[in-house]
Amino acid sequence: MLPDAPVVQVAVILAATAAIWIGSGWLEEAAETLSAYYGLPAVVQGSVVVAVGSSFPELVSVVVTAVVGVFDMGVGALVGSAIFNVLVVPAVSGFGADGPLESSRTIVYKEAQFYMIAVATLVVTFSLAVIYVPVPAETIAGELTRPLALIPLALYALYLFIQYQDVGDADIETVREGVDIRRKWGKLAVGLLVIVVTVERLVASVESLGATFGVPEFLAGVTVVAAATSLPDTLVSLRTAQAGRGATSLGNVLGSNTFDLLVAIPLGVLIVGRVEVNFSTAVPMFGVLTAATVLLFTVLRTDLSLTSRESFVLLAAYALFIAWVVAETVGATGLLRGV
């Protein structure tokens, strides 16, 4: 409905960014009130309530790419988004916090380590697809089927069970006086709707600009599109960090990535029945994601906080990742097959 001109697409990106900022504010405020109403710990609030909400753009993108038959693009954008989440989002939150961004042993020893298990589980699932449902191709490829998709979903069910146990162990007092629970649930739903709709427009405009200026699809997917779909996570984590709630901010990052890997990808498979996955491209990307997660785990473990210097280290690591992706795109390196 709009002219496909660069200036129009830039205007759409700016408007969508503003709308996402507003929607993420509604989401964060409603999630905080609902968590207090139900007595949820800060880590559970960040890793489940806020994380699932801010992960809806990635979920939508994976489902759409699975339906239209370009599932590899969806996986690439999702893994790129996950790398952005563990390197850039904590760094931005660290800069936005008043002093070092406070972490906790729960974040380091439960959320971060469980997330690394999630990455390993998805790699194993892809490996089983290559072994038992191979696809003849120049690269190593296989088909993810519905039974295989149940493996990561089962692990996410375990994750929710652990979070449920933590809620019972925390014994946090509920805050219910003066809370209109229906209004807060409605605000949460509206915030999610705003985020999903505006991120879809944002991604479409970014892809249009990429096509106009000749940016390769793979490069745009794992960098620009990945960053665009991670914008809600960035804004929500920044808001909570500025409010002095480091555990919620970091919990959102790790919980969002856990949801993306263990729910978003399998859900796309469950909807379409089976999808082909390029093992030669996916596994090296998951290797980079694992290294990025280990780096985040390391900097969070030092004094259980994230300093400005450590935030610079995370941003430098992301810059190296971008340089590697560009090198892969232009053919300077060849670790990814079939790009």
- Average of per-residue pLDDT across 54-75: 71
Query: Six-digit token pair at 33?
Result: 């009130």
Task: Say if residue 141's pLDDT is above 80.
Answer: yes
User: Looking at 80-177, which runs of residues are DSSP E strands?
Assistant: 101-102, 141-145
Q: What is the pTM of this model?
A: 0.83
Q: Which residue in 73, 114, 101, 69 sits closest to 257, CA to CA?
A: 114
Which token pair is 221? 């997917």
**Max mean pLDDT range (61-65, 78-82, 214-218, 243-247):** 78-82
Paired tokens of 56:
């809806």
The Cα–Cα gap between 224 and 212 comes to 14
Across 90-94, 107-111, 135-139, 204-208, which has the greatest mean pLDDT?
Answer: 90-94
Determine how many CB atoms are found less than 10 A away from the CB of residue 7: 8
* pLDDT: which is higher, 13 or 57: 13
DSSP letter assigned to residue 134: B
Closest by CA to 159, choosing from 123, 192, 127, 112, is 112
CB-CB contact of 41 with 166 (8 Å): yes
Average pLDDT in the chain? 83
Does residue 180 carry a pLDDT above 90?
no
Q: Which of 87-101, 126-140, 174-188, 207-221 has the lowest mean pLDDT?
A: 207-221
* Per-residue pLDDT at 134 exceeds 90: yes
The architecture CATH gives domain 6-330: Up-down Bundle (1.20)
Q: How confident is the model at residue 282 (pLDDT cuts 50, 70, 90)?
A: confident
Beta bridge partner(s), residue 306: 101
**Cβ atoms 17, 202 nearer than 8 A:** yes
The Cα–Cα gap between 208 and 4 comes to: 8
| Cβ-contact 90, 296 below 8 angstroms | yes
pLDDT of residue 207: 74
Tokens describing residue 77:
């954008």
Residue 248 has pLDDT above 70, yes or no: yes
- Name the burial class of residue 155, with classes exposed (0-12), middle (13-18) and buried (19+) by CB atoms within 10 angstroms of its CB: buried
More confidently predicted of 138 and 182? 182
Determine the average pLDDT of the residues in 180-209: 82
Give residue for tokens 């496909």.
4
pLDDT at 250: 85
CB 296 within 8 A of CB 288: no
User: pLDDT class for 169, splitting at 50, 70, 90?
Assistant: low
Percent of the chain with pLDDT over 70: 90
What is the band of 8 on the pLDDT scale with cuts at 50, 70, 90?
Answer: confident
Q: For a pLDDT cut of 90, what percent of the chain falls above it?
A: 22
Decide the pairing of beta strands 305-306 and 141-145. Answer: unpaired
pLDDT at 2: 60
Residue with the larger pLDDT of the pair 314 and 165: 314
